[in-house]
């Protein structure tokens, strides 16, 4: 069968009334759970798993896919409005999205997040249709050494996700790395920093970390009721004025394009995912921006890039799932399970054996994205009203959802306690001007890095040469080395210039900050 | 005011006491712990069983996933639960028959009462698409060609597949490199990408991607893959056991266990259950409490031997 045939089967499946309805239910539910902090797609799809036993497999995947990428849409909402990430993939959106809201551009931030996600969703769907399965095969070349090298590169950029000084970011990143070692070691099975407490065996959950360090800490800070309390800025009242204006669109075009490409590539790597994609997009935008100083001060690029990237990655991750049977995360593991229960075996033959499923799911993403935009954009004016809800009413509600959310992750009350503890820690961090964003990124990367490094060394029978033998890994290691050389070189150059009495340039800013004596 | 509070508390106590003493178990929804994440093999077995079991008992079964550390977290939780039949667990053998030999845990086999075995989900040995062998005999030749010639995947140190590999390598007189992964997904990725050459997992997991299947760990060949020989046929003495069933905390009353088992017999014979398991290439199988316990005790002794031989006993 040719592509045109597949296309018509895809459309026929996705555009049947029942599947449109299922898709609508999925994305609507996804948006709602994305908005509620803590209640994530994992808990939702596991609750729905028994329901899918009796559904048509294509409809089941369309429903679960809708929930997953719908939650990426919804996650940005609370990040932007109240600085509380609804999902770990929306942590970076807090940085500039919230600043925009403080400056009266909440609607624009929400708008660009929705449109960025929409554009990313449509482009990725089309790309998946044509090159997805081929790329997924290629992505298999990513073994443990390649992951370790990729994540190493990411770790070098970790200081870029914070507004505080470079030293502060490094402190937080180190703390994040340390926290990522808590729990039972994945390779050797030893207990580390568990103190024999069963609640710590699993280590920290990234969602618990985010809820504690961002949501609970934010609420504690606002409970002080002093100058820190966000003053609701007058937001424009008409929807048209709320939406991104021409200037904002102009600045967002390239970030959306780049975010889409990055999210697509990271999403198609088995094991990649929306969280890393969103961080990577933010760092990239900041690195290549001509005005990096605007980041953290409400730069729309810092919302457009990551929000496009996380949606692109969420959709792209269905390709390794369907064409190879490799789930990228816990949500997709449940989707895989629902397929297995139906007797559908994902793999290279799925495309020809059940084209209605494979292409129906891809085409349904077009439908889902259209529904999401139609659903979300007119509601922006309603969402913005949330800013006017008094914090005394909003806070208890958010806390309730966080507690439910933390418990629902693993049905463990230890997670709830950890969230509260991390919330107190996050509050203290705020008091001393430490930003938790680098901590979260280092935590996510640290877990992947350690496991991948140990696996690489096992693959290489103990030799580090394994990183140089494999071309992709060697290339990535080379990038890291270049980055260090350029950073250090830039800093030395800047110092020499400063000594010569001339001003230094923006590129060397992080290192210059690093060398600044503490106040 | 205080009087009212105390009175209402007392009232609650009375209500609660009558609830406990109430005859006619079950009178409220039952929590079924699954010590693995949603979507895993055990989770699917539990979700296949729960509707039928709930129907027989006349109360809904609520599945609670408490994943972590190969099932330790959920099993510890069950051992600590009130033995009233409202907290039950569907568990495979590994958290009960392997982990207590390797780690210092707060539970042993005796912390539980066995209700009924509900499924048999034998392991299959699969090779990667690029591996230079397609049969078990070729695998043995390749593995013996030089030490550490084969890299094998497992779901973690001390997992059932890891122990099985240790046993295979001991019996064929070779050595391999163990590369642990977290969960089945990363293992499939590693075997497709060529990072490892062999893996052991459930039939449903290894059936995708047309992986060459070398052997099954079962007494006789599986109906779903009649061309794959058993380990016994290949001349290895491997009695791998991978099955699971319902367990409850020790101290659960006989009457409750009997009620649960009656429901269990009916549920394991129901059409929905049989259909779902067939699609997962697992076998529905019912065994009463004593036979179920016997199998787990045997398996525990066998695993202890493998773990001792591999030097993986916990340091005193």
pLDDT tens, residue by residue, A16-30: 989 999 999 999 999
Specify the residue for token string 């042993």: B108
Give me the pLDDT at residue B92, please: 93
The radius of gyration of chain B's CA atoms, rounded to the nearest angstrom, is 22
Highest mean pLDDT among A101-115, A311-325, B124-138: B124-138
Q: Do residues B167 and B303 both lie within one domain? A: no
Give me the pLDDT at residue A514, please: 43
Q: What percent of chain A has pLDDT over 70?
A: 93
**Cα separations (Å) of A91 from A84, A198, A207, A469, A515?**
8, 28, 10, 36, 28
| Interface touch A337/B44, C-beta < 8 Å | yes
Last residue of a domain, one of B200, B216, B232: B216
The whole-angstrom distance between A131's CA and the closest CA on chain B is 19
| Interface touch B151/A184, C-beta < 8 Å | no
Say which residue, A33 or B91, is predicted with more confidence.
B91
Question: In angstroms, rounded to a whole number, what is the distance separating the alpha carbons of residues B291 and B224?
Answer: 26
The whole-angstrom distance between B10's CA and the closest CA on chain A is 27
Three-state DSSP state, A444:
helix
Predicted ipTM > 0.85: no
Residue B152 included in any domain: yes
CA A235 from chain centre, in angstroms, equals: 27
| Interface touch B177/A461, C-beta < 8 Å | yes
Give me the pLDDT at residue A73, please: 83
A230 burial (CB, 10 Å; 0-12 / 13-18 / 19+) is middle
Residue B53 included in any domain: yes
Question: In angstroms, rounded to a whole number, what is the distance separating the alpha carbons of residues B88 and B61?
Answer: 10
Q: Do residues B88 and B139 both lie within one domain? A: no
Choose the mutation target among B41, B177, B192 for the interface with A, i.e. most A CBs under 10 Å.
B192
Q: Do residues B99 and B134 both lie within one domain? A: no
The whole-angstrom distance between A454's CA and the closest CA on chain B is 9
Please state, rounded to an integer, the average pLDDT across all residues of chain A.
84
> The domain containing residue B115 runs over which residues?
29-121+242-309
User: Shortest CB distance from B189 goes to which of A188, A271, A340?
Assistant: A271
User: Shortest CB distance from B44 goes to which of A140, A324, A341?
Assistant: A341
User: Shortest CB distance from A347 goes to which of B40, B180, B209?
Assistant: B209
Per the structure, how many domains does chain B have? Answer: 2
Q: Do residues B40 and B116 both lie within one domain? A: yes
Bridge partner residues of B89 (DSSP): B33, B247
The DSSP element (H or E) to which A191 belongs, if any, is: strand A191-192
Name chain B contacts of A348, Cβ cutoff 8 Å. 209-210
Q: Do residues B38 and B93 both lie within one domain? A: yes
Q: Do residues B198 and B263 both lie within one domain? A: no
Last residue of a domain, one of B216, B232, B258: B216
Residue B177 included in any domain: yes
Q: What is the mean pLDDT of each run of 10 residues along chain B (316 residues)?
A: 55 47 77 89 91 92 86 91 93 92 88 94 92 93 91 89 92 92 85 92 85 91 90 86 92 92 92 89 90 93 90 78
Q: Is the dihedral of CA B167, B169, B175, B180 positive or negative?
A: negative
Two structure tokens written together for A164: 């505080």
DSSP string, A269-291: STT--HHHHHHHHHHHHHHH-S-
**Cα separations (Å) of A471 from A361, A464, A465, A466?**
34, 14, 12, 10
Asked if residues A225 and A452 have their Cβ atoms less than 8 Å apart, the reply is no
Asked if residues A397 and A406 have their Cβ atoms less than 8 Å apart, the reply is no
Two structure tokens written together for B46: 């539990």
Name chain A contacts of B279, Cβ cutoff 8 Å. 340-343
Q: How many CB atoms lie within 10 A of CB B1?
A: 5
The DSSP element (H or E) to which B94 belongs, if any, is: helix B94-97
Two structure tokens written together for A145: 């050494």
Asked if residues A143 and A459 have their Cβ atoms less than 8 Å apart, the reply is yes
Three-state DSSP state, B191:
helix
Q: Is the dihedral of CA A227, A228, A232, A233 positive or negative?
A: positive
Q: Do residues B51 and B188 both lie within one domain? A: no
| Interface touch A53/B276, C-beta < 8 Å | yes
Name chain B contacts of A461, Cβ cutoff 8 Å. 148, 177
Q: Do residues B130 and B212 both lie within one domain? A: yes
Q: Do residues B172 and B302 both lie within one domain? A: no
User: Shortest CB distance from A455 goes to which of B51, B179, B207?
Assistant: B179
Buried/exposed B135-169: b ≥16 CB within 10 Å, e otherwise: ebeebbebbeeeeebbbbbbbbbbbbbbbbbbbbb
Question: In angstroms, rounded to a whole number, what is the distance separating the alpha carbons of residues A259 and A120?
Answer: 8
Question: In angstroms, rounded to a whole number, what is the distance separating the alpha carbons of residues A137 and B193?
Answer: 9
Q: What CATH number should be reported for the domain holding residue B156? A: 3.40.190.10
Q: How many CB atoms lie within 10 A of CB B265?
A: 13
Two structure tokens written together for B174: 């070779």
Q: Over the stretch A435-454, which tens digit does the pLDDT of each residue have?
A: 888 898 899 889 889 999 99
The whole-angstrom distance between B316's CA and the closest CA on chain A is 14
Say which residue, B69 or A467, is predicted with more confidence.
A467
| Interface touch A143/B190, C-beta < 8 Å | yes
Choose the mutation target among A48, A64, A135, A198 for the interface with B, i.e. most B CBs under 10 Å.
A198
Name chain A contacts of B106, Cβ cutoff 8 Å. 198
Strands (E), chain B: 30-34, 61-65, 87-92, 112-120, 124-127, 150-154, 176-180, 198-201, 213-216, 243-249, 283-288
Residue B249 included in any domain: yes
Cβ partners under 8 Å of residue A125, min gap 6: A315, A362, A363, A365, A366, A369
Q: How confident is the model at residue A512 (pLDDT cuts 50, 70, 90)?
A: very low
Q: Over the stretch A111-131, which tens digit does the pLDDT of each residue have?
A: 999 999 999 999 998 888 888
The whole-angstrom distance between B3's CA and the closest CA on chain A is 30
DSSP string, A214-263: IIIHHHHHHHT-STTSPPPPPPPSSHHHHS--HHHHHHHHHHHHHHHHHH
pTM of the model: 0.84
Nearest CA in chain A to B209: A347
Name chain B contacts of A188, Cβ cutoff 8 Å. 157
Question: In angstroms, rounded to a whole number, what is the distance separating the alpha carbons of residues A313 and A365?
Answer: 13
Residue B145 included in any domain: yes
Give me the pLDDT at residue A165, please: 80
Residue B231 included in any domain: no
> Any idea what DSSP says for residue B69?
G
Give me the pLDDT at residue B68, please: 78
Q: Do residues B64 and B78 both lie within one domain? A: yes
Specify the residue for token string 């398996």: B299
Give me the pLDDT at residue B14, please: 47
**Lowest mean pLDDT across A141-150, A151-160, B226-235:** A151-160
Give me the pLDDT at residue B266, please: 92
Residue B203 included in any domain: yes
Q: Over the stretch A471-510, which tens digit does the pLDDT of each residue have?
A: 989 999 999 999 889 888 888 888 888 888 654 444 444 4
Q: Do residues B72 and B108 both lie within one domain? A: yes
Asked whether the predicted pLDDT for residue A179 surpasses 80, the reply is yes
Q: How confident is the model at residue A231 (pLDDT cuts 50, 70, 90)?
A: low
Q: Do residues B146 and B107 both lie within one domain? A: no
Q: How many CB atoms lie within 10 A of CB B290?
A: 9
Two structure tokens written together for B315: 């340091």
Q: What CATH number should be reported for the domain holding residue B94? A: 3.40.190.150
The whole-angstrom distance between A281's CA and the closest CA on chain B is 25
Say which residue, A297 or B14, is predicted with more confidence.
A297
Residue B227 included in any domain: no
The DSSP element (H or E) to which A390 belongs, if any, is: none
Question: Helix axis angle, A274-288 relative to A437-459, nearest 10°?
Answer: 110
Give me the pLDDT at residue A352, please: 80
User: Shortest CB distance from A411 goes to which of B66, B69, B178?
Assistant: B66
């Amino acid at each position: 069968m040719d592509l045109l045939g597949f296309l018509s089967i895809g459309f026929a499946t996705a555009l049947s009334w029942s599947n449109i309805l299922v898709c609508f239910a999925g994305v609507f539910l996804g948006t709602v759970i994305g908005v509620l902090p803590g209640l994530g797609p994992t808990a939702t799809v596991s609750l729905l798993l028994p329901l899918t036993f009796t559904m048509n497999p294509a409809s089941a995947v369309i429903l679960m896919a809708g929930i997953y990428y719908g939650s990426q849409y919804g996650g940005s909402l609370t990040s932007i409005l109240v600085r509380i990430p609804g999902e770990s993939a929306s942590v970076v959106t807090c940085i500039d999205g919230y600043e925009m809201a403080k400056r009266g551009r909440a609607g624009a931030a929400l708008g660009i997040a929705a449109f960025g996600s929409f554009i990313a969703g449509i482009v990725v769907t089309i790309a998946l249709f044509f090159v997805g399965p081929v790329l997924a095969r290629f992505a298999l070349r990513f073994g443990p050494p390649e992951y370790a090298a990729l994540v190493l590169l990411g770790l070098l950029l970790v200081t870029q996700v914070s507004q505080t000084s470079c030293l502060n970011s490094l402190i937080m990143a180190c703390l994040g790395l340390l926290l990522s070692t808590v729990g039972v070691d994945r390779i050797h099975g030893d207990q580390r920093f568990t103190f024999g407490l069963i609640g710590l065996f699993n280590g920290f959950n990234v969602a618990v970390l985010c809820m504690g360090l961002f949501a609970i800490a934010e609420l504690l800070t606002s409970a002080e009721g002093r100058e820190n309390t966000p003053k609701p800025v007058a937001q424009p009242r008409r929807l048209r004025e709320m939406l991104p204006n021409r200037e904002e669109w102009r600045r967002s075009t390239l970030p959306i394009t780049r975010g889409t490409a990055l999210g697509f590539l990271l999403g198609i790597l088995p094991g990649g995912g929306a969280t890393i994609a969103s961080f990577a997009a933010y760092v990239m935008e900041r690195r290549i921006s001509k005005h990096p100083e605007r980041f953290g001060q409400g730069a729309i690029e810092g919302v457009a890039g990551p929000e496009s990237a996380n949606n692109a990655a969420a959709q792209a991750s269905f390709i390794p799932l369907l064409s190879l049977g490799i789930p990228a995360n816990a949500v997709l593991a449940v989707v895989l399970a629902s397929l297995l229960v139906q007797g559908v075996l994902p793999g290279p033959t799925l495309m020809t054996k059940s084209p209605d499923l494979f292409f129906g799911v891809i085409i349904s993403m077009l439908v889902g994205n259209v529904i999401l935009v139609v659903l979300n954009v007119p509601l922006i004016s309603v969402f913005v009203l949330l800013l006017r809800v008094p914090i005394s009413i909003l806070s208890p509600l958010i806390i309730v959802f966080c507690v439910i959310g933390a418990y629902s992750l693993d049905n463990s009350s230890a997670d709830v306690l950890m969230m509260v503890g991390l919330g107190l820690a996050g509050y203290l961090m705020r008091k001393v001007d430490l930003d938790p964003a680098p901590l979260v990124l280092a935590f996510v990367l640290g877990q992947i890095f350690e496991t991948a490094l140990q696996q690489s060394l096992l693959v290489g029978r103990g030799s580090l040469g394994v990183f140089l033998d494999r071309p992709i890994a060697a290339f990535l290691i080379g990038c890291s080395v270049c980055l260090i050389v350029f950073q250090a070189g830039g800093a030395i150059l800047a110092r020499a210039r400063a000594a010569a009495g001339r001003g230094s340039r923006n590129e060397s800013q992080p290192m210059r900050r690093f060398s600044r004596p503490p106040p | 005011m205080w009087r009212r509070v105390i009175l209402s508390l007392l009232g609650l106590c009375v209500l609660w006491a009558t609830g406990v003493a109430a005859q006619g178990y079950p009178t409220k929804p039952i929590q079924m712990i699954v010590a693995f994440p949603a979507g895993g093999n055990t989770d699917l077995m539990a979700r296949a069983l729960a509707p039928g079991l709930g129907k027989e008992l006349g109360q809904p079964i609520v599945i609670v996933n408490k994943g972590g550390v190969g099932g330790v977290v959920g099993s510890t939780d069950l051992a600590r639960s009130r033995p009233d039949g409202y907290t039950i667990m569907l568990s495979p053998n590994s958290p009960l028959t392997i982990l207590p030999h390797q780690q210092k845990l707060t539970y042993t086999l005796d912390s539980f009462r066995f209700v009924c075995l509900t499924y048999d989900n034998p392991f299959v040995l699969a090779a990667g698409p690029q591996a230079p062998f397609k049969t078990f005999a070729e695998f043995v030749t390749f593995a013996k060609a030089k030490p550490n010639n084969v890299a094998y995947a497992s779901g973690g140190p001390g997992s059932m597949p890891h122990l099985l590999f240790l046993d295979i390598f001991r019996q064929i007189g070779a050595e391999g490199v163990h590369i642990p992964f977290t969960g089945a997904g990363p293992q499939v990725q590693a075997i497709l990408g060529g990072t490892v050459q062999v893996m052991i997992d459930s039939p449903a997991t290894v059936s995708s991607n047309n992986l060459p299947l070398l052997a099954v760990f079962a007494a006789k060949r599986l109906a779903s893959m009649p061309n794959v020989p058993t380990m016994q046929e290949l001349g290895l003495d491997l009695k791998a056991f991978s099955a699971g069933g319902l367990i409850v905390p020790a101290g659960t009353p006989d009457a409750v266990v009997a009620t649960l088992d009656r429901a269990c017999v009916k549920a394991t014979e129901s059409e929905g259950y049989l259909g779902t398991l067939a699609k997962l290439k697992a076998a529905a199988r019912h065994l009463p409490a004593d036979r179920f316990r016997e199998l787990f005790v045997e398996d525990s002794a066998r695993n202890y031997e493998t773990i001792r031989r591999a030097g993986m006993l916990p340091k005193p």
